[in-house]
Amino acid sequence: MNADRAQQVHQSAELLFDRDSVDASIAALALQVENECKQDFPLVLCVMNGGLYLTGQLLRHWEFPLTLDYVHATRYRLTTLGKNVLWKTYPQNEIRERNVIIIDDIFDQGYTLEEVKSYCLKHGAKTCSSVFLIRKTHDRKKADIAPDFVGIECDDCYVYGAGMDLNGHFRNLSSIYALPEKVV
């Protein structure tokens, strides 16, 4: 989807969560995670590219010692339908005996979280928590995995903004939008 088409599609999108509600959800999420994880000197793993926005926003609220790293594991590859998880980048920091916090944009079916968490545990992480801005409500989730911290619940629709993209566009938006069904 080129930029002109993305802008056209954006014009027909529905505003689900405005900037203020997203910011309030992130602030509440930051406090919740801090209260449970700050004493652990965690290794924070941002799942690129979607987790970048939330990670940056959470870091603004946290003033406890942590190590920041990232992974690039993706299912979508600039499409709207996920495939098998593709690893592009593994963590650079040692995981063994660390308390890991995985941060990503959206929990949909759980395949990416399952893959990243499994990797961390296989490499000796003491604990592995997950933080998501959005969790979609539907019955397609993987039975064996669930997020530990979630900021916002939303219906099963295609959403973008606040880290989530529309075919590579609009991750930078401070609000979250939903596409009309006919566009998806």
Mind listing the pLDDT tens digit for each residue in 143-163? Answer: 689 999 999 999 999 999 999
Q: What pLDDT digit, counting tens, does each position of 67-110 carry?
A: 999 999 987 645 555 557 888 999 999 999 999 999 999 999 89
Beta bridge partners of 44: 68, 101
**Please, what sign has the CA dihedral across residues 3, 168, 172, 14?**
positive
pLDDT of residue 76: 60
What is the rounded end-to-end Cα distance, in angstroms, of the chain? 12
**For position 34, what pLDDT does the model report?**
96
Q: What pLDDT band is residue 183 in, cutting at 50, 70 and 90? A: low
Which tens digits make up the pLDDT trace of 99-145? 999 999 999 989 899 999 999 999 999 999 999 999 998 877 676 89
* Phi, psi dihedral angles at 55 (to 5 degrees): -60, -45
Topology (CATH) of 25-154: Rossmann fold (3.40.50)
Quote the pLDDT of residue 83: 55
- Above 80 in pLDDT, residue 19? yes
pLDDT, residue 148, reads 97
Q: Which long-range contacts (CB under 8 A, 24 or more apart) does 143-149 make?
A: 144/114, 145/110, 145/113, 145/114, 145/117, 146/110, 147/107, 147/113, 149/29, 149/32, 149/33
- pLDDT at residue number 180: 83
The predicted pLDDT at position 138 comes to: 85
pLDDT at 181 over 60: yes
pTM over 0.85: yes
Q: Look at 182 and 111; give whichever has higher pLDDT.
A: 111
27-59 tens-digit pLDDT:
999 999 999 998 889 999 999 999 999 999 999
Distance from C-alpha of 38 to C-alpha of 98, rounded to nearest angstrom: 13
